[in-house]
Amino acid sequence: MSSPYTLLKKDPTSRARAGTVQTRRGAIETPIFMPVGTQATVKAVSPDELYALGAQIILGNTYHLHVRPGEDLIKDLGGLHHFMQWDRSILTDSGGFQVFSLARLRKITEEGVHFQNHLDGTPTFISPEVSMQIQHNLGSDIVMAFDECPPYPCEHEAMKTSLERTLRWAKRCKEYWNCQSEFPNQERPPLVFGIVQGGSHDDLRKLSAEALVEIGFDGYAVGGVSVGEPEPEMMQAIDASIPYLPDNAPRYAMGLGTPPQMVEMVARGIDMFDCVLPTRLARNGTAFTKHGTLNLKNAPFARDTAPIEEGCTCPACQKFTRAYLRHLVKAEEILGLRLISLHNLHFYLNLMRQTRQAILEERFDVFRKEFVTGYVAHHP
Amino acid sequence: MSSPYTLLKKDPTSRARAGTVQTRRGAIETPIFMPVGTQATVKAVSPDELYALGAQIILGNTYHLHVRPGEDLIKDLGGLHHFMQWDRSILTDSGGFQVFSLARLRKITEEGVHFQNHLDGTPTFISPEVSMQIQHNLGSDIVMAFDECPPYPCEHEAMKTSLERTLRWAKRCKEYWNCQSEFPNQERPPLVFGIVQGGSHDDLRKLSAEALVEIGFDGYAVGGVSVGEPEPEMMQAIDASIPYLPDNAPRYAMGLGTPPQMVEMVARGIDMFDCVLPTRLARNGTAFTKHGTLNLKNAPFARDTAPIEEGCTCPACQKFTRAYLRHLVKAEEILGLRLISLHNLHFYLNLMRQTRQAILEERFDVFRKEFVTGYVAHHP
């Protein structure tokens, strides 16, 4: 199996690296941030706006799209790219995380998971094969293996039991694609990523990573992070996984994180991120800057004629003042959350572009220190 | 007083006419639709999108902007145009309609109106002079006189009493501007429009119109329409007002209406419209077409790959299917109401452009009949 990953530069002071990941829709430049488009749209943002922000790949949610409008409908209408008019890469998660966090669980068996969906309680069954089939029908470019996501904290024995089933599921996911001989129009198959689980147990992270590599995936994600654990445990979960993953495959930390967390994870060898914070916090009036977040609802911004961040090239900062944005947020006007979403997405996308540039120019160590020191921690 | 109105063409079969209205920010082409930007934003739409839709003038709401963020703040930050980054014309209503429909009324006196605002109950006073001062501070290009808006229905005697006070208020509004000798940077003063009241009483409409013309305004609005009266009474209120208004002044029907209502009012001599329907109905998933409205939530659209309206040049119809828009609306995604808002605003703006073109090309009579016949009435 040839690798989709090309290494361009390795930072000598950390595990950080710059490279590209080749999907069937083009190369994406890593480290990279992937905006989250849960329900076939990045919340409040249009595809043209995402292109203008320089987004190269977005995330779609298998669980949500299965529940509504259904992958059959999307397939019949030409696939997710055509449905939502996005022609760059799409990564779809497997639905595992949502099944275990959103749905009302009925039963986990070796075969798969029975649950009632969160919308109308319809009884539903997702197995590794069903998840692959859904992602296949959506037309995903990067497909994630279907995994069980135990809640935090999870004791060693329970985690091991869950993990071993997840590994058997991972094998079935891989086999699904091995058996798919034909792709429409001789299209290349999607990339398939395995997901390292194991919680806060280093030995289980190692076991999981090694077993996934044995199966052989195009890329590897670290899952079961950002599930409520303290930040040191999150970093430890990355540190305990990365050494057992091959250098010639992309690595993806799922559902993360704050800006300094992302930079720190790049230093630990992560290439890809997705996170709802930029759009979720925007809907609450919170904007990211290199010095931390601003809650634009706060009174001092009422007459502040500065942009969210001086020098920022996003569409919000190019035209609008903090005072105007504060007014829009206070008045619950959609344009406010639209503009702050654009700013926050720009911030996340640009942070990874800057991180990549720093690695390529052999100054990641300084960049990392300056950024992480300058950013005042916040608690979303 | 020179007239801001230039007549370009008169329809021989009706009172319809095409012309221009010169504001201090440029000429607007009438008949025209003015998108409503209540709280310093047209809901869900950016200024750049409005420019692209060809909007020439938008409406701002004196009452809402006075309550939040306050006209002093807006003035200090450079005026409403600069605050919201809109450099074309703005018409501001006087706040009269909102004071009488939204606020908790305390007392109407000859001096003005005492009320508690709808947000936090703050006691507030607006008089003709206060309304003019607010609109002055906002930097409005077309200022509306402050009027009392009696609820529908209103008996003759009560309406007459109210109307006579509104006329005295209109005179005070005009005098406010006569006394304003200086405008910043030698700017031209705004246009000032009077508002014809009188409800469904023809003699009071006549009395109101004649008295306003006697005072002398740059333009005239018909107010107290679309307040719950049946459509024939609405049309009658227009018919009873227009003959007494000068041909060399623009005429504006406030807060109206459905697409065929607008065309019918153009036939009755109206030049300008504002209406929240395009954006309000969009937020409910309802889209305008020349054959009537579509509720995109409806099941038959689930797999409909057509655009909202074939041949439509709006940003939604250029790229997205009814099926996708339906999914967005059902999933309560902001992109859905954004795209439908753009479509609906395009529809309204374009309808008035087409109407104007039909008048200029001496085919308004046919255009009117075809449009009104083809449009299936709906009940928003």
What pLDDT, in 10s, does the model give residues B162-186? 999 999 999 999 999 988 766 655 6
Q: Closest approach of chain B CAs to the CA of A82, in angstroms?
A: 9
Say what the pLDDT of residue A170 is: 98
Q: How confident is the model at residue B245 (pLDDT cuts 50, 70, 90)?
A: very high
H or E element at residue B259:
helix B259-267
Give which of B25, B1, B11 is closest to B271, Cα–Cα.
B11
Q: Judge: B302–A337 Cβ closer than 8 Å, yes or no.
A: no
φ, ψ for residue B266 (rounded to 5)? -60, -45
Counted residue by residue, chain A has a size of: 380
Say what the pLDDT of residue A350 is: 98
Structure tokens at B178: 């006569």
Structure tokens at A344: 């926050």
Say what the pLDDT of residue A148 is: 93
Q: Judge: A46–B335 Cβ closer than 8 Å, yes or no.
A: yes
* Closest residue of chain A to B299, computed from CA coordinates: A69
Give B17-71 as a 3 state SS string: EEEEEEECCEEEEECEEECEECCCCCCCCCHHHHHHHCCCEEEEEHHHHHHCCCH
Residue A110, Cβ neighbours under 10 Å: how many? 8
Say what the pLDDT of residue A379 is: 40
Q: How confident is the model at residue B379 (pLDDT cuts 50, 70, 90)?
A: very low
Cβ atoms of B377 and B292 within 8 Å: the answer is yes
Cβ atoms of A36 and A280 within 8 Å: the answer is no
What are the chain A neighbours of B335 within 8 Å (beta carbons)? 41, 43-46
Q: Judge: B41–A73 Cβ closer than 8 Å, yes or no.
A: no
Using a pLDDT cut of 70, give the percent of chain B over it: 97
Cβ atoms of A195 and A223 within 8 Å: the answer is yes
Sheet holding A26-30, edge to edge: A5-10, A17-23, A26-30
User: Per-residue pLDDT tens for B180-223?
Assistant: 766 655 678 999 999 999 999 999 999 999 999 999 999 999 99
What are the chain B neighbours of A331 within 8 Å (beta carbons)? 39-40, 68
> In angstroms, rounded to a whole number, what is the distance separating the alpha carbons of residues A269 and A242?
7
Amino acid at B177: W
Q: Judge: B68–A305 Cβ closer than 8 Å, yes or no.
A: no
The A residues from 5 to 24 touching B (CB cutoff 8 Å) are none
Say what the pLDDT of residue B380 is: 39
* All residues at 6 or more sequence positions from A109 whose CB lies less than 8 Å from its CB, including other chains: none
Say what the pLDDT of residue A104 is: 85
- Report how many Cβ contacts below 8 Å link chain A to chain B: 101
Cβ atoms of B20 and B361 within 8 Å: the answer is no
Give which of A206, A203, A356, A207 is closest to A273, Cα–Cα.
A356
What are the chain A neighbours of B339 within 8 Å (beta carbons)? 46
Whether residue B73 lies within 8 A of chain A, CB to CB, comes out as yes
Give which of A282, A275, A292 is closest to A349, Cα–Cα.
A275
The B residues from 314 to 373 touching A (CB cutoff 8 Å) are 319-321, 323-324, 326-328, 330-331, 333-339
Strands A17-23 and A26-30: antiparallel
Whether residue B292 lies within 8 A of chain A, CB to CB, comes out as no
Give the torsion sign (CA, A95, A97, A102, A107).
positive
Check residue A1 and report its DSSP letter. Answer: -
ipTM given for this complex: 0.97
The A residues from 164 to 193 touching B (CB cutoff 8 Å) are none
Q: Closest approach of chain B CAs to the CA of A341, in angstroms?
A: 12
**Domains of chain B in sequence order:** 5-275 (3.20.20.105), 282-374 (no CATH)
pLDDT averages per 10-residue partition of chain A, 380 residues: 92 98 97 98 98 98 97 98 98 92 88 94 95 97 96 95 97 92 70 97 98 98 94 97 98 96 98 98 97 97 98 98 98 98 98 98 98 76
Say what the pLDDT of residue B183 is: 63
The A residues from 77 to 116 touching B (CB cutoff 8 Å) are 77, 83-85
Q: Closest approach of chain A CAs to the CA of B81, in angstroms?
A: 11
Say what the pLDDT of residue B81 is: 98
Catalytic center residues of A: 93, 274
Q: Closest approach of chain A CAs to the CA of B46, in angstroms?
A: 7
> In angstroms, rounded to a whole number, what is the distance separating the alpha carbons of residues A251 and A271?
5
Q: Which of B47, B77, B330 sits opposite A305 (nearest CB)?
A: B77
Say what the pLDDT of residue A188 is: 81
Q: Judge: A303–B46 Cβ closer than 8 Å, yes or no.
A: no
What are the chain A neighbours of B304 within 8 Å (beta carbons)? none
Q: Closest approach of chain B CAs to the CA of A64, in angstroms?
A: 10
Strands B32-34 and B272-274: parallel
User: Per-residue pLDDT tens for B46-85?
Assistant: 999 999 999 999 999 999 999 999 999 999 999 999 999 9
What are the chain B neighbours of A72 within 8 Å (beta carbons)? none
Whether residue B251 lies within 8 A of chain A, CB to CB, comes out as no
H or E element at residue B380:
none
Q: Residue A170, class by beta-carbon neighbours within 10 Å (0-12 exposed, 13-18 middle, 19+ buried)?
A: buried
Q: Closest approach of chain B CAs to the CA of A355, in angstroms?
A: 30
For residue A333, the SS3 value is coil
Radius of gyration of chain B (CA): 20
What are the chain A neighbours of B85 within 8 Å (beta carbons)? 319-320, 324
Catalytic center residues of B: 93, 274
